[in-house]
Amino acid sequence: MKKHNFNAGPCILPQVALENTAKAVLDLDGIGLSLITISHRSKEFQAIIDETEALWMELLNIPAGYKVLFLGGGASTQFCMVPYNLMKTKAAYVETGVWAKKAAKEAKLFGKVEVIASSVDKNFTYYPKVTNIPTDADYLHITTNNTIYGTELREDLNSPIPLVADMSSDIMSRPVDVSKYALIYGGAQKNVGPAGVTFVIVKEDILGKVDRPIPSMLDYRTHVDKGSMYNTPPCFAIYTMREVLKWVKAQGGVKAMEKLAIERAKVIYDEIDRNKMFVGTVEPASRSRMNICFVMAEKYKDKEEAFLEFAKSQGMVGIKGHRDVGGFRASAYNALPMESAKALVACMQEFEKKNA
Ligand SMILES: *Cc1c(COP(=O)(O)O)cnc(C)c1O
How do residues 204-221 score in pLDDT, each as one tens digit?
999 999 999 999 999 999
Annotation: binding site: 41, 75-76, 99, 147, 166, 189, 231-232
pLDDT tens-digit readout, 116-169: 999 999 999 999 999 999 999 999 999 999 999 999 999 999 999 999 999 999
User: Do both 238 and 346 map to the same domain?
Assistant: no
User: Do both 211 and 331 map to the same domain?
Assistant: no
Ligand 1, atom 13, residue with closest C-alpha: 168
Q: How many domains does the chain have?
A: 2
C-alpha distances (whole Å) from 153 to each of 29, 200, 320 are 40, 19, 24
CA triplet 44, 45, 47: central angle to 5 degrees? 70
Task: Tell whether 142 is covered by a domain.
Answer: yes
pLDDT under 70 in the chain at which residues? none
CATH, residue 74: 3.40.640.10
How far apart are the CA of 166 and the centre of ligand 1, in A? 8
User: Do both 107 and 167 map to the same domain?
Assistant: yes
What's the pLDDT at 49? Answer: 98
What's the pLDDT at 341? Answer: 98
Annotation: binding site for pyridoxal 5'-phosphate: 75-76, 99, 147, 166, 189, 231-232
Give pTM, 2 decimals: 0.98
Which among 251, 267, 295 is the end of a domain? 251
How many CA atoms lie within 13 Å of 273's alpha carbon, on the beta-carbon side? 10
CB under 6 Å to ligand 1: residues?
9, 74-76, 99, 143, 147, 166, 168-169, 187, 190
Task: Tell whether 6 is covered by a domain.
Answer: no
143 CA closest ligand 1 atom index: 13
Mutate which of 99, 143, 191, 325 to test ligand 1's pocket (most atoms within 8 Å of Cβ)?
99
What's the pLDDT at 135? Answer: 98
CATH, residue 327: 3.90.1150.10
- Nearest CA to 54 out of 308, 217, 246 is that of 246
Task: Tell whether 2 is covered by a domain.
Answer: no
How far apart are the CA of 7 and the centre of ligand 1, in A? 14
Which among 194, 225, 251 is the end of a domain? 251
Structural domain containing residue 318: 253-355
User: Do both 214 and 338 map to the same domain?
Assistant: no
How far apart are the CA of 276 and the centre of ligand 1, in A? 33
Annotation: binding site for L-glutamate: 41
Cβ partners under 8 Å of residue 23, min gap 6: none
What's the pLDDT at 229? Answer: 97
Which among 221, 251, 281 is the end of a domain? 251
What's the pLDDT at 5? Answer: 98
What's the pLDDT at 89? Answer: 98
Q: Determine the distance from the C-alpha atom of residue 294 to the mean position of all C-alpha atoms in its chain, rounded to a whole number.
A: 20
74 CA closest ligand 1 atom index: 7
Mutate which of 147, 153, 198 to test ligand 1's pocket (most atoms within 8 Å of Cβ)?
147
Catalytic residues: 99, 166, 190
What's the pLDDT at 14? Answer: 98
- Nearest CA to 345 out of 332, 335, 334 is that of 332
Helix or strand (DSSP H, E) at 320: none
User: Do both 206 and 318 map to the same domain?
Assistant: no
User: Do both 47 and 181 map to the same domain?
Assistant: yes
User: CA 68, CA 241: separation in Å to the nearest integer?
Assistant: 13
Task: Tell whether 7 is covered by a domain.
Answer: no
Task: Tell whether 174 is covered by a domain.
Answer: yes
